[in-house]
Amino acid sequence: MFFLNAKKIRRNILLGKDVNRSDNKAARWKLMSLVALGQKKMFERPIPALLHLFVYVGFVLINIEVAEMFIDGIFGTHRFLSILNFETFHFYNFLIGFFEILAFLVTLGCILFLIRRNILNIKRLAMQELDGWPKTDANLILISEILLMSALFVMNAADQSLQLIGSEHYIAAGNFPVSNLLVPMLSGISENSLIFIERFCWWFHIIGILSFLNFLVISKHLHILLAFPNVFYSNLIPKGSFTNLESVTNEVKAMMDPSFTPPAPANPDQPMRFGAKDVFDLTWKQLLDSYTCTECGRCTLACPANQTGKLLSPRKIMMDTRDRLVEVGKNIDKNGKFTDDGKSLFGDYISAEELWACTTCNACTQECPVNIDPLGIIIDIRRFLVMEQSAAPQPINMMSTNIENNGAPWQYSPADRLNWAKEN
């Protein structure tokens, strides 16, 4: 089920226009190691970064124990990796003890994250765009992780109890510094009941892990998987650099050189667009950005437009792009191909007021812990508004007219430019 859903997500991302992000692989691997794997940007805020590190490292390493659970389930063994215990050094016991401490830190981190989201009322976690499903999504994931870790502790406690009474099949292996605290609670329970508890928690954990995997595809927590490719394919040019639209460049070349033949469009069924109106007009990397968004709100918190009460929220831009892309994907699933639904990203999801509030300062792209670029989407939709809709705000239209007529943004003749100095 996960791979079928992942295939649909890949298809949705590839609805975007092509962009080359395969250059300078050494720099890209280094960036991915620092930002995605090393979480370099997260540590600009130490407290949430430390809690996230507990959950992140625990999530990755505890999967070794989960892999052992799968092996035991398939082959009928019990604590298969206990073969790593040696006479001089019981490595397996050390490993399980380390995993237990990690599981405790994961549980602690999730509890504190729940408190931050629901009690402390932190501004970036209590904004309007998180109302409804986004807030529920975050809470469900945190509660699920707490339940999974709790099941692991109870399973290990029952296992330890069965080892102590010499139950058949439950070989003496593993060190349980956290679960041992629960063993006294299980005293007096019959062997069969202990086996039932251990097996129930084993199945709860296995089914929970597989359910969690399939929940990712409809959750912001898909960033667990997509953060790595998203950072790898980051834009390496300096922030603030803008590229010319290929469609505009080709038009100018055609006017300057009648022999120039513009390249054929990648999708002949869609009209050539100046800028972006819908998700089809964005690049695959921008669509990957939308699926990777963690909804952490660091971009919005840093946005000067948002700080001064403007409607713009860079996080909402990414969430809206993802919501529209999901809607388009469902349309394709239903009809076999996309059928015009009378909707578009601009207008139905993102308003002109949001777009023109942006100062293009790049604070959002700088703050994002996984190198998402909301500004790119904002600029592309602005280009559509200016070049296809002639819908720029009046001050921008006046500036453009002045540049065209006077060669400068100001509303007077170039011959009068130095008049200000005559009185001095």
Same domain membership, residue 196 and residue 313: no
Same domain membership, residue 169 and residue 202: yes
Give the model confidence (pLDDT) of 387-404 as tens digits.
Answer: 888 888 888 888 888 888
Domain count, the chain: 2
What average pLDDT does range 18-37 have in this prediction? 92
Distance CA 376, CA 242 (A): 9
Q: Per-residue pLDDT for 417 more than 80?
A: no
Helices 2-13, 314-335: axis angle to 10 degrees equals: 110
Q: Per-residue pLDDT for 423 more than 80?
A: no
Pair 13, 284: CB distance under 8 Å? yes
Q: Per-residue pLDDT for 414 more than 90?
A: no
Q: Give the pLDDT score at 34.
A: 93
In a domain, 171, yes or no: yes
Phi, psi of 54 (to 5 degrees): -55, -50
User: How does residue 355 score in pLDDT terms, banded at 50, 70 and 90?
Assistant: very high
Same domain membership, residue 147 and residue 295: no
Give the model confidence (pLDDT) of 140-197 as tens digits.
Answer: 999 999 999 999 999 999 999 999 888 888 888 888 999 999 999 998 899 999 999 9
DSSP string spanning 280-313? GGSBHHHHHHHHH-----HHHHH-HHHHTT-S--
In a domain, 29, yes or no: yes
Q: Per-residue pLDDT for 384 more than 70?
A: yes
Q: Per-residue pLDDT for 335 more than 70?
A: yes
Same domain membership, residue 269 and residue 317: yes
Distance CA 125, CA 296 (A): 7
Same domain membership, residue 303 and residue 199: no
Percentage of the chain beyond pLDDT 90 is 61
Domain stops at, among 232, 261, 284: 232
Distance CA 219, CA 81 (A): 33
Percentage of the chain beyond pLDDT 70 is 98
In a domain, 302, yes or no: yes
Give the model confidence (pLDDT) of 87-133 as tens digits.
Answer: 778 898 999 999 999 999 999 999 999 999 899 888 888 898 999 99
Look up tokens 């469900």; give the residue: 140
Same domain membership, residue 253 and residue 219: no
Domain span holding position 123: 22-232
Same domain membership, residue 206 and residue 62: yes
Give the predicted TM-score (pTM) of the model: 0.87
In a domain, 163, yes or no: yes
User: How does residue 314 score in pLDDT terms, banded at 50, 70 and 90?
Assistant: very high
For residue 254, the Cα-to-chain-centroid distance in whole angstroms is 41
Sign of CA dihedral 355, 357, 361, 362: negative
Sign of CA dihedral 238, 239, 240, 246: positive
Give the model confidence (pLDDT) of 292-302 as tens digits.
Answer: 999 999 999 99
Same domain membership, residue 250 and residue 399: yes
Same domain membership, residue 252 and residue 224: no
Q: Per-residue pLDDT for 420 more than 80?
A: no
Same domain membership, residue 277 and residue 156: no
